[in-house]
């Protein structure tokens, strides 16, 4: 292996790690209820964001707004865990990946627990500010909604969405 090949491999590994860190930053900012940090994970301008039942959006500002309206409340306790990344570099400045998502929300006002299994399908772009999400879709594949009470738990929804 020559020096150019080694530099290419290192650059590719650094890009994959930067993309991994970006997705972790996105999920952590959602848990922290930080719409500014969450918004910063996306490219500026027009893009495609498909979050299924939450909505389809053509820019990241719209996603940050709906996130603030729906999720940024003290009674909404959330956990976003991304795993099983399959990251593929499509060029020196673009990539795509799929991620498994385990999402849990407890609404302390309604005593409802929601668990969701889903797959993110993302595309990424290297910008002057670093790697950013340029396209994303979240496809739910399992849902469990439980009504919580002191003496019982009742399943409201279970199965595939």
Which residues contact residue 59 at a Cβ distance below 8 angstroms, ignoring those fewer than 6 apart? 45, 46, 47, 49
Q: Distance between CA 123 and CA 110 in Å, rounded? A: 36
By DSSP bridging, strand 46-50 and strand 130-148 are parallel
**pLDDT tens across 107-154, in order?**
999 999 999 999 999 999 999 999 999 999 999 999 999 999 989 888
Cα Rg for the chain, rounded, in angstroms? 18
Closest CA to 120 of 147, 84, 90: 84
Residue 1 is predicted with a pLDDT of: 74
4 pLDDT tier (thresholds 50, 70, 90): confident
Residue 53 is predicted with a pLDDT of: 86
Q: Stretch 94-101: mean pLDDT, rounded? A: 98
What is the pTM for the complete model shown? 0.93
- Structural domains present in the chain: 3-159 (3.10.450.50)
């Amino acid at each position: 292996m020559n020096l150019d090949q080694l530099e290419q491999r290192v650059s590719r590994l650094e890009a994959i790690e930067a993309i991994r860190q970006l997705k972790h930053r996105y999920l952590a900012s959602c848990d922290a209820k930080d719409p500014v940090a969450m918004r910063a994970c996306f490219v500026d301008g027009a893009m495609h964001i498909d979050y299924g039942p939450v909505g389809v959006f053509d820019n990241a500002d719209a996603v940050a707004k709906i996130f603030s309206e729906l999720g940024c409340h003290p009674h909404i306790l959330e956990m976003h865990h991304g795993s099983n990344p399959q990251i593929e570099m499509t060029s020196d400045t673009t990539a795509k990946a799929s991620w498994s998502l385990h999402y849990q929300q407890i609404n302390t006002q309604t005593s409802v627990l929601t668990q969701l299994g889903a797959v993110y399908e993302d595309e990424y772009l290297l910008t002057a500010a670093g790697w950013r999400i340029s396209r994303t879709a979240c496809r739910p594949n399992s849902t469990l909604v439980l009504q919580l009470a002191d003496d019982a738990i009742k399943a409201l929804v279970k199965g595939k969405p």
